[in-house]
Copies of this chain bind each other. A is one copy, B any other.
C-alpha cells in the first residue's frame, strides 16, 4: 500500500486525502487501511450537522471552523453532497468553500458525492471520519444536505447531532414529521433575525416537551451565521453536550451502536455483490424486457433468478 499510516497519524494532508480516496472509490486496500487505523480512532469529537437545503449549514460550519481553529483545535469536515448528473461531481460551490483554509494544516475539508456512488454512503462516511479521527483531528464535522431518512442516518452517526432550521422551515409538527426532533442534541435556528424566529423557537420547544424520555434536553441556539452571531453560544452548547456524554458514560454506548450499524451495512453490501453475478444481471434484464410481453411479477422473477 502506497499510503504510510504514520503520515496519516501525523496529520499529513496528502496522506489523508489519498486515504480518503481509497475508501471513497472502494479501491483495493480500503479494508486493510481501515483495519489498521481503527485502533487509533476514538479521540475526535464527532459532530453531525443536518437540515433542509438553504438553511445555511455551510456558512455555519465555516464559522464554527474559524472559531475552533482560533482556540487551537484541528478540524476535519466531511460534506455529503448529492451529486448532480450534470456536473458529474460534487458542486463547485462546496469545493470553493473554505478556501481560506486551504493552506491551513489544522483544517481538512472534503465533500463526498452521495448520488450515484457505488455502495453505502453511510459506511464510507464512517470510514472517512475514522481516517480524520486517526489523523489527530480534535473535531470532525459531518454535514449532510436534506432532511430525509438517509441524511438523518448519516448525521445521526455523530456524538453530537445538530439540526439547523430557519424561521421558514415550517412549524414544529412538520419538523417532527421529518424525524428531526429525535436525532437533534442541539437545534440551531439560523437566520434568526428573520420574521417568525420566535414562533419557530416556541414550536420547537413545544415539540421537545413530548420528549420526556431523555436525560438530555436538546439545546436551542439562535444564530445568524452570515453575521457571525451565536456561533460562540453554539460552540459552548456542543461542549456542554460532549461533557454530558462523557460524564454519563454514554459515549461508549453511542460508539457501540455506530459499530453495529456499520457491521450490518458492510455485510449487506457484500451479500448483494455476491448475489448479483453477471449471469443474474443479464437474466434480470431479459426477464423484464422480453419483447412486447408483459413481465412477470417481481416475486416470480426472483424465483427464476434463484434457479441459476
A267 and B82 in contact, given A146-B146, A298-B259 (Cβ under 8 angstroms): no
Contact flags (1/0) for A182-203 with B, using CB distance below 8 Å?
Answer: 1000000000000000000000
- Of B114, B176, B177, the contact of A149 (CB 8 Å cutoff): B114
> How many copies altogether?
2
- Kindly state the separation between the CA atoms of A272 and B93 in the bound complex, as whole angstroms: 38
Give, as a whole number of angstroms, the nearest-CB distance from A30 to chain B. Answer: 9
Give, as a whole number of angstroms, the nearest-CB distance from A175 to chain B. Answer: 6
Q: Indicate if A307 sits at the interface (CB-CB under 8 A).
A: no
Chain B residues lying within 8 Å of A84, measured Cβ to Cβ, are 176-177, 179, 181-182
- Kindly state the separation between the CA atoms of A121 and B148 in the bound complex, as whole angstroms: 13
| Secondary structure dominating the interface of A | helix
- Of B42, B147, B302, the contact of A53 (CB 8 Å cutoff): B147
Chain B residues lying within 8 Å of A271, measured Cβ to Cβ, are 268, 271-272, 275
Which single residue of chain B is at the shortest CB-CB distance from A121?
Answer: B149
Contact check, A297 vs B34: say whether CB atoms are below 8 A apart: yes
Chain B residues lying within 8 Å of A55, measured Cβ to Cβ, are 170
Q: Indicate if A39 sits at the interface (CB-CB under 8 A).
A: yes
Contact flags (1/0) for A258-270 with B, using CB distance below 8 Å?
Answer: 0110111011101
Give, as a whole number of angstroms, the nearest-CB distance from A8 to chain B. Answer: 15
- Kindly state the separation between the CA atoms of A181 and B74 in the bound complex, as whole angstroms: 36
Contact check, B177 vs A91: say whether CB atoms are below 8 A apart: yes
- The B-contacting residues of A in range 279-308, CB under 8 angstroms, are 284-285, 288-289, 294-302, 305
- Of B35, B173, B174, B267, the contact of A305 (CB 8 Å cutoff): B267
Interface size class of A (residues with CB under 8 A): 35 or more
Chain B residues lying within 8 Å of A34, measured Cβ to Cβ, are 297-299
Binding site for B on A (CB under 8 A): 31, 34-35, 38-39, 42, 52-55, 81-82, 84-86, 91, 93, 114-115, 121, 145-152, 166, 168-171, 173-179, 181-182, 210-211, 256, 259-260, 262-264, 266-268, 270-272, 275-276, 284-285, 288-289, 294-302, 305
Give 15 A-B contacts (CB < 8 Å), ordered by A residue: A38-B297, A39-B294, A52-B53, A54-B174, A91-B177, A93-B173, A121-B149, A146-B149, A149-B149, A150-B150, A263-B284, A263-B288, A264-B276, A267-B302, A267-B305
Name 13 extra pairs, CB < 8 A, besides A35-B299, A84-B181: A34-B297, A39-B297, A52-B147, A85-B182, A115-B149, A145-B178, A256-B288, A256-B295, A259-B288, A260-B284, A263-B284, A264-B276, A271-B275
